[in-house]
Amino acid sequence: MLKPIKNNKSYEIALARIYELMQKDLKINSKESDELEILSILVKEYENEHYPIPKPKPLDAIKFRLEQLGMSESQLSSVLGYRSRKSEIFNGKRKLNLAMIRKLNEILHIPAEVLIQYY
């Protein structure tokens, strides 16, 4: 019977079982595939609580997303409006405003909760 993961020992046991199940050729909707799915959810919840990953800083997220999309920083000017505005933001002289955050979220698909953080 599956139980909630409450400590590091049960976490390690769950990871080992997940690994074991992933090595098999499981059939969809089988008992073992359901077990794998449930264990994965339990492990995810335990990790979110005990090993949270901090959100990236807004400028780091923008640079990373540009890199992912193969865009240059100069192309970001078309999103933010003016070339000087992009420079001011990356040099720390200007903060992102609501309109910029909305455009970055809409065009670059960067989560708004990342962009609204203090930096």
Domain annotation covers residue 1: no
Kindly compute the dihedral angle of the four CA atoms of residues 73, 75, 78, 82, in this order, to the nearest 10 degrees.
Answer: 40
Domain annotation covers residue 90: yes
Residue 23 CA to residue 42 CA, distance in Å, equals 19
| Tokens (6 digits) for 109 | 């698909």
CATH number at residue 95: 1.10.260.40
* H or E, element range at 83: helix 83-90
Whole-number pLDDT of residue 106 = 96
Residues 15 and 46 in one domain: yes
Domain annotation covers residue 2: no
Which residue stretches of the chain have pLDDT < 50? none
- Number of H helices and E strands in the chain, helices first, is 7, 0
Residue 74 CA to residue 102 CA, distance in Å, equals 19
Which structural domain, as residue segments, surrounds residue 36? 8-50
Whole-number pLDDT of residue 10 = 97
Residues 89 and 105 in one domain: yes
Domain count, the chain: 2
Whole-number pLDDT of residue 71 = 92
